[in-house]
Copies of this chain bind each other. A is one copy, B any other.
């Protein structure tokens, strides 16, 4: 796409929030990117405009039939002052995978990366510089026909918004307690589990709320068919280190093909550590725990990078992992990926793109 991005800058910049108390997803920058899709005309009119409300007919299809997708990535202020993105082309590739499943027309991936970079440059003063902070980038697409029949929309909006976010671990990386979910199912093969679409997240809320009430941070999802094989942890991919080898559920259509998941696998293999992508049952994890070969467990995702699991509750069986402490491998992956993201460690994989 050879389009120029029209830029209309705000003349009323917002006051910046206290960059030491950001939290996640609470504050938004001065500008946003929008591009429209009309059937027959394609994607058109890409523009960066002042951050503003979307004014939509109440019949707009996204409200009723949830035809939408999103992504999440971050811009990091490197130690040398550069602004870095981590594998943004992978997010845009995944947008098109999600789009295909949700019957949304494809975007030009390269152009979308360019749009992210231009928007980040316009709002570069919003990138926080405190340790562990970043500028969260949320591209999303919504169906915009004002129409109540069930069919794919003929019009869409592709939008990118930016949110300065605090360190995920302000007090250092810390293991979480996870409840193994036996009642609710997140997704099933043949469904939308591999797409980053709102409905998957809506479906996950109830289990999350009930896990919180029981004193757990998140749930471990089991497969929807046999309720036996491990899928994801909360909204993250999940890894287990058992007897020196690392195991993570294979991508079979019901789990998200995480970019941090892929980066973790590449890193581990580059370190000579064996990684198995295959089905892994909760029984296998429990038996490894009983035998004393369960060494570490952790989630991977853009927000936390690595989230060590300190305890699993499986129908009342408590599986304590590495004495509830962050394992050395979890820590090493975390330090390496975040090190690459903040430009502290050499990027041997070509994962980093600079925003200029």
State whether the Cβ of A1 lies closer than 8 Å to any Cβ in chain B: no
**A226: nearest chain-B partner, CB-CB:** B225
Residue numbers in B under 8 Å from A339 (CB-CB): none
- We find that the number of chain A residues with CB closer than 8 angstroms to chain B is 67
Residue numbers in B under 8 Å from A206 (CB-CB): 101-103
Contact A197 B191 (CB under 8 A): no
> In the docked arrangement, what's the CA distance between A319 and B235, Å?
42
Contact B201 A150 (CB under 8 A): yes
Residue numbers in B under 8 Å from A312 (CB-CB): none
Contact A138 B64 (CB under 8 A): yes
Contact A201 B101 (CB under 8 A): no
> In the docked arrangement, what's the CA distance between A146 and B163, Å?
11
> In the docked arrangement, what's the CA distance between A66 and B200, Å?
8
Interface centre among A60, A148, A206, A224 (most CB of B within 10 A): A148
Instruction: Name which of A7-15, A181-189, A241-249, A266-274 contacts chain B.
Output: A181-189
State whether the Cβ of A25 lies closer than 8 Å to any Cβ in chain B: yes
**A218: nearest chain-B partner, CB-CB:** B150
Contact B25 A148 (CB under 8 A): yes
Contact B192 A203 (CB under 8 A): yes
State whether the Cβ of A149 lies closer than 8 Å to any Cβ in chain B: yes
Residue numbers in B under 8 Å from A351 (CB-CB): none
Give the shortest distance, in Å, between A155 (CB) and chain B (any CB). Answer: 14
**A51: nearest chain-B partner, CB-CB:** B58
Interface centre among A66, A101, A198 (most CB of B within 10 A): A66
State whether the Cβ of A24 lies closer than 8 Å to any Cβ in chain B: yes
Contact A163 B68 (CB under 8 A): no
Contact A55 B55 (CB under 8 A): yes
Contact B151 A102 (CB under 8 A): no
Contact B64 A140 (CB under 8 A): yes
Contact A63 B68 (CB under 8 A): yes
> In the docked arrangement, what's the CA distance between A65 and B26, Å?
15
**A66: nearest chain-B partner, CB-CB:** B198
Contact A190 B183 (CB under 8 A): yes
> In the docked arrangement, what's the CA distance between A147 and B146, Å?
24
State whether the Cβ of A57 lies closer than 8 Å to any Cβ in chain B: yes
**A136: nearest chain-B partner, CB-CB:** B148
Residue numbers in B under 8 Å from A57 (CB-CB): 28, 53-54
Contact B149 A24 (CB under 8 A): yes
Residue numbers in B under 8 Å from A149 (CB-CB): 24-25
Known contacts A58-B159, A163-B59, A190-B183; is-contact A205 B152 (Cβ 8 Å): yes
> In the docked arrangement, what's the CA distance between A101 and B205, Å?
9
Contact with B along A19-38 (1 / 0, CB 8 A): 00000111010001000000
> In the docked arrangement, what's the CA distance between A297 and B121, Å?
60
Contact B59 A209 (CB under 8 A): no
State whether the Cβ of A318 lies closer than 8 Å to any Cβ in chain B: no
Could you give 15 example pairs across A and B, Cβ below 8 Å? A25-B149, A58-B159, A64-B201, A65-B201, A67-B202, A103-B206, A136-B148, A150-B205, A150-B208, A185-B191, A188-B188, A188-B191, A188-B225, A191-B224, A197-B199
